[in-house]
Amino acid sequence: MSAFDQQSSSPIPPLEEVKKRPTVIIVVGMAGSGKTTFLTRLHREISSGIICRSDDGKVGKGYYINLDPACTAMPYPPQIDIRDTVDYKNVMSEYNLGPNGAIVTSLNLFATKFDVVMGILEKRVEEERDIDYVIVDTPGQIESFTWSASGQIVTESLASSFPTILSFVVDTPRCVNPSTFMSNMLYSCSMMYRSRLPMVVAFNKTDVVSSDTVESWMSDYDKFQEAMDAQESSGGSYYDSLNRSMALTLDEFYSTLNRCGVSAATGDGVDEFLALCEKARAEYFEEYWKDLNDRREAVKELKEQGVKDNMNKFEKDLKEVDKMKKEEGGVLPATFVEGFHEKEVVSMMPYRRTGDRSLSIVGLGCSSFSDIFGEEVSKQEEGWVELIINTVKSGVNVLDTAPWYGDSERVVGMAIKKLPRSSFYIHTKVGRYAKTDKMFDFTKEKTYKSVQNSLKVLNVDYLDCVQVHDPEFCEDLSIIVGEVLVALDEMREKGIIRRIGITGYPLQVQREIIERSTVKIDQSLSYGHLNLHDVTLLSSSFSELCKNNDIALLAAAPLSMGLLTPGDPPSWHPAPAELKDRCKKANVLCEDAGASLPHLATIYSLAIEAVPCTLLGVKNSFELERMLKASRSLKEVKGFAFNGDIKELPLTATEQEALRGILEREEIFGGEVRNTEGWNEV
């Protein structure tokens, strides 16, 4: 989440309070730079009382956070360790990733709950006022942190509440080569300007090679030129001219850059390093804090304008109420088509109003109409087409598909050919595609091409909603905000699409996109966060954020992708073993009571009024009838909440007792919320 955006949904810490807080030092460095050894030295010197930041001369403490999931052993004891939450090897195995991909994914998983880390940190600092430094260790694969969405979330979350600086640890012996030196300086420059935070460059290993040479290159361009001349005489290349040009370009950057030589092995220079950290801390308040407040004000103005726009939209919606078709038995949705639908059938389906649409409380998730779950499409597609048509005839008016779902768009398009266009709302997605090297492509160009292809394959001339698919896999959310959403907004203005949505698992990523975006987002689709074991879609502040921004909340996977069914979940399911075991206990309880776990799970999720539509996949007429039976039984249920009275649900006394046991027993889901990535929330 962006730092200034985060403050729009949580109290802004007063400046005087932030000034009392310890300095956060985010330490980054290339693999082999001696970063971990340097952190060990810092820990030793701070713990020994040699170093002290307090004005009264009292010895302070350090607080350590490890964000390297692949580290096998820590030479110092961190108070917060990513390895306690995310198992790097399991991530690599379960998601079929390489080492670097597993590091990025582990950081992404950890970042989704970084608000919990912030809460722990703020509480500890409040209780123990003698903490001088919060030191954050990052992966040696530096780009996995500095150029990832998770790294940005962590950095800006810390910087929004604590005086925060970056420290770039550089391998001095390698920098005696001017080209390597220039590469390191370009990297430090890019990190500083990307984060906007003050930086201290620590030229490490001065016990091997003094940092005097490289520091002289930064203060005297002629000396760098001499080094370049010497390099050319020993066999230069056309890169030399680039290095010379870059040296001139970075001259101003050098003039304000805090740097010093240190030796992690001997401790030389550590006192100077921490003195520069104090200088950088002052720069944080002089520059970053002011910039942070300016950006907060800009976001506030955008939101105020958004409120005005929403009022105008509301007035427009009121004028269009006459589009709703009123009948004796109540209000039929605008998707009702005389001659295609039967009034008696459609009137049995409950609908919920969101914006200018009335959505059926259950929507058809179309991912099952493909080969991604092992089905043979050629043998099934004719039956699937008929199934989709019957689903729409029953009053279900939301169809959700995606290019990622293999043949799904094509199969849905075959059904659409036989449906009145006004009888349904079609939602598709962009950003995630077939299982190739370019599975994810969030560029503006690809977004345009994907939408055009979806229009063609689905046999429609406009799409009711296009959603950004799994943005958590985008390395930089600025691409989502600056390219994908902008492209979708341009197409919305042209009438090619009607609404813009985002979908994915981590709510934290969706939150950041919503708060950073200058494009109006109409819809959020979350899967796996509204079911018997996980209601964080509504129990967290995310639902309030969507409500304040006039964003419709849709949910998917009420059966938790197979967890809440009698059989075993699919082999690819990411749920931890403990959660799978609890779900099996829930099923045993249901079987003993003569109840159906899928039925209870479906009724519970569909009944929650705060979510207008929940997507459910079906593959045959039996599953369709089961879905329709559950949704129709909720016709008279109004105002049910995730923590509501179970007696309000259309269940038998035996079913109610079984559902109560599932939700309240400690060995199942009682007392805590659990989701598929192993996070626990009270």
CATH assignment of the domain containing 508:
3.20.20.100
How many domains does the structure of the chain reveal?
Answer: 2
Instruction: Give 404-413 pLDDT, tens digit per residue.
Output: 998 899 999 9
The answer to whether residues 533 and 384 belong to one domain is yes
pLDDT band at 251 (very low <50, low <70, confident <90, very high): confident
Which of 234, 267, 293 is the last residue before a domain boundary? 293
Asked whether residue 245 carries a pLDDT value surpassing 90, the answer given is no
Which pLDDT does position 329 carry in this prediction? 41
Asked whether residue 12 carries a pLDDT value surpassing 60, the answer given is yes
Q: Of the given ranges (139-153, 294-308, 537-551), which has the lowest mean pLDDT?
A: 294-308
What does residue 664 show for φ and ψ, rounded to 5 degrees?
-110, -25
Which of 293, 312, 335 is the last residue before a domain boundary? 293
State mean pLDDT over 238-248. Answer: 75
- CATH number, domain at 102? 3.40.50.300
Asked whether residue 268 carries a pLDDT value surpassing 90, the answer given is yes
Q: Of the given ranges (238-247, 458-467, 511-520, 645-654), which has the lowest mean pLDDT?
A: 238-247
Question: Residue 106 to residues 63, 115, 553, 674: CA-CA distances in angstroms?
Answer: 22, 16, 27, 18
The answer to whether residues 347 and 225 belong to one domain is no
Q: Is there a domain that residue 497 lies in? A: yes
Q: Is there a domain that residue 590 lies in? A: no
pLDDT band at 374 (very low <50, low <70, confident <90, very high): low
Asked whether residue 233 carries a pLDDT value surpassing 60, the answer given is no
Residue 80 near residue 73 (C-beta atoms within 8 A): no
Which pLDDT does position 311 carry in this prediction? 64
The answer to whether residues 393 and 286 belong to one domain is no
Asked whether residue 307 carries a pLDDT value surpassing 70, the answer given is no
The answer to whether residues 287 and 374 belong to one domain is no
The answer to whether residues 253 and 161 belong to one domain is yes
Which pLDDT does position 310 carry in this prediction? 64
pLDDT band at 562 (very low <50, low <70, confident <90, very high): confident
For residues 628 and 332, the model is more confident at 628
Task: Indicate the DSSP class of residue 73.
Answer: -
The answer to whether residues 375 and 440 belong to one domain is yes
Range of the domain at 98: 15-293
State mean pLDDT over 81-98. Answer: 90
State mean pLDDT over 497-515. Answer: 93
Between vectors from CA 391 to CA 386 and to CA 396, what angle results, nearest 5°? 155
State mean pLDDT over 293-311. Answer: 71
pLDDT band at 392 (very low <50, low <70, confident <90, very high): very high
SS3 66: strand
Most confidently modeled of 161-170, 235-244, 291-300?
161-170
Q: Is there a domain that residue 680 lies in? A: no
Q: Is there a domain that residue 333 lies in? A: no
Cα first-last separation, the chain: 22
Q: Is there a domain that residue 364 lies in? A: yes
Q: Is there a domain that residue 645 lies in? A: no
pLDDT band at 485 (very low <50, low <70, confident <90, very high): very high
Q: Is there a domain that residue 331 lies in? A: no
For residues 11 and 571, the model is more confident at 571
Which of 278, 293, 308 is the last residue before a domain boundary? 293
State mean pLDDT over 463-473. Answer: 95
* b/e sequence 271-289, b meaning 16+ C-beta within 10 Å: eebbebbeebbebbeeebb
Q: Where are the alpha helices (DSSP H) in 444-521?
A: 444-458, 477-479, 485-493, 507-516
State mean pLDDT over 372-376. Answer: 58
The answer to whether residues 348 and 490 belong to one domain is yes
Which pLDDT does position 326 carry in this prediction? 45
Nearest to 397 by CA among 612, 629, 557: 612
Cα(195)–Cα(283) distance, integer angstroms? 14
Most confidently modeled of 7-21, 85-99, 216-230, 360-374?
85-99
Q: Of the given ranges (315-319, 568-572, 597-601), which has the lowest mean pLDDT?
A: 315-319
The answer to whether residues 288 and 351 belong to one domain is no
Cα(136)–Cα(117) distance, integer angstroms? 12
Which pLDDT does position 314 carry in this prediction? 58
